[in-house]
Amino acid sequence: MSGFIAALLWVSLLVFVGFTGAKIRQYWKTPAPLKIPTTPAPVTQTGVVFRMAREVVLFESLFKSNKWIWVFGWMFHLGLLLAFFRHLRYVVSPENFMWPVISNVIVQSFGQYAGFAMVIGLLGLLARRFLVERIRYISSPSDYLMLVMLIVIGVSGLMMSFVTHIDVVQLKMFVMGLFGFDFQSLPESIALIVHLLLVVVLMLIFPFSKLLHAPGVFFSPTRNQVDNPREKRHLAPWAAEKYNDHVDK
Ligand code: HEM
C-alpha cells in the first residue's frame, strides 16, 4: 500500500506541476486585446500591485459583492494557508532557520485550529450551493464534488490531529523518502490513506478544473491593468506587430 501511494503521489505531483505550469504559460502568452480594468481602477503600476494584493489577501471584490460568500470563502482559504504551513514540518528539518516559526507559532498554537476554519468555510460554501436557488440552478456535479473532496481531506486531517493520531515521525520519514526515491512505509491509518488518496485526486484535477483560479486571478485583465487608456495607447503585442507593419508600408 505504501509503495502504491508513493507512486500515486509522484505521478499526481508531476501532472500537477507540469500541467499547471503549462496553463500558466498559456495564460501568460494569451494577449489581452482590450483595455478593460474594472473602474475605479489604479492609474499606476504600483497601484495595480496594491489592488492585486488586496484582491488576493482580502478578496476585496468578493467582499463588495457578497458578504456571505466572502466570510466562508475567506475562512476556507485562510484555513488552507495555515494548514499548508502546518504541513511544512513534514519536509522542513529542525535545523532549518524557519523551524521555530513553523513549529512554535503555526503548528503548536493557532495553526491547530486552521483545519476547523477550513472545513466550516467549505460547509458554508456547500450549503450555499444547496440552499440558494439561483446558485443551485447553475451548479454542476463537479462544483459539489470538489467541495466534498476538500471537506473530506479536511475532516480526515482533523481526525488524525484530534481523534485517532498517527506517528508523525514515521510519516515524515515517508515524505522525505519520497523525495530521495527511498520509499519508506506509511503509518497505519485509514484516515491517512483517505487523506492522501484525495490529495492525489486534488493534484490530478487541479490543472483541468476551476481550481485553476488560484494562479488565474493574477492574469485577470479586469484586475491587472492600469487605467491609462487616454495617456497611453493600448496595443496587445500581436496587434502592435500588425499595426507597425501597416504603418511601415
Ligand atoms: C502529501 C500531502 C499531505 C500529507 C502527507 C498530509 C498529512 C497530514 C497529517 C499527518 C495530518 C494530521 C496532522 C497532525 O496529526 O497533527 C494532516 C492534517 C490536515 N491536513 Fe493534510 N496532508 C497532505 C496534504 C494536504 C492537503 C493538500 C490539504 C488541503 C487541501 C490538507 C489538509 C489538512 C487539514 C485541514 C488537516 C487538519 C488540520 C491540521 O492538522 O493542520 N492536507 N495532514
Q: Which triple of cell numbers denotes residue 217?
A: 486571478
pLDDT in tens, 146-176: 999 999 999 999 999 999 989 989 999 999 9
CA distance 42 to 136: 35
Extract the C-alpha cell encoding 135.
446558485
Using the predicted structure, report yes or no on whether residue 242 has a pLDDT greater than 80.
Answer: no
Q: Are the CB atoms for 91 and 77 separated by under 8 Å?
A: no
Task: Give 71 Cα–ligand 1 centroid separation in angstroms.
Answer: 23
> What pLDDT band is residue 108 in, cutting at 50, 70 and 90?
low
Summarize the confidence of residues 14-32 as an average pLDDT: 95
Question: Of 156, 154, 145, which Cα lies nearest the Cα of 205?
Answer: 145
* 158 CA: nearest ligand 1 atom: 37
247 alpha carbon – ligand 1 mean position (Å): 59
pLDDT tens track for 68-104: 999 999 999 999 999 998 888 888 877 777 777 777 6
- Residue identified by cell 463537479 is 142
Domain boundaries, the chain: 2-65+140-248
Cβ-based burial of 215 (10 A; exposed 0-12, middle 13-18, buried ≥19) = middle
Distance CA 203, CA 200 (A): 5
Each residue's pLDDT tens digit, 173-209 = 999 999 888 888 999 999 999 999 999 999 999 999 9
Alpha-carbon distances of 193 from 2, 7, 15, 182, rounded to whole Å: 9, 13, 20, 19
Is it the case that residue 246 has pLDDT exceeding 90?
no
> How far, in Å, is the centroid of ligand 1 from the Cα of 195?
7
- In this prediction, residue 245 carries a pLDDT of 66
Task: Give the pLDDT confidence score for residue 89 in this predicted structure.
Answer: 84
Mean pLDDT over each residue of the chain, to the nearest integer: 91
d(CA 55, CA 63): 9
Q: Do residues 189 and 5 lie in contact, with contact meaning Cβ atoms separated by under 8 Å?
A: no
For the record, the C-alpha cell of 192 comes out as: 491517512
Measured in Å, residue 53 CA sits from the centre of ligand 1 at: 27
Which residue has the least CA distance to atom 17 on ligand 1?
A: 157
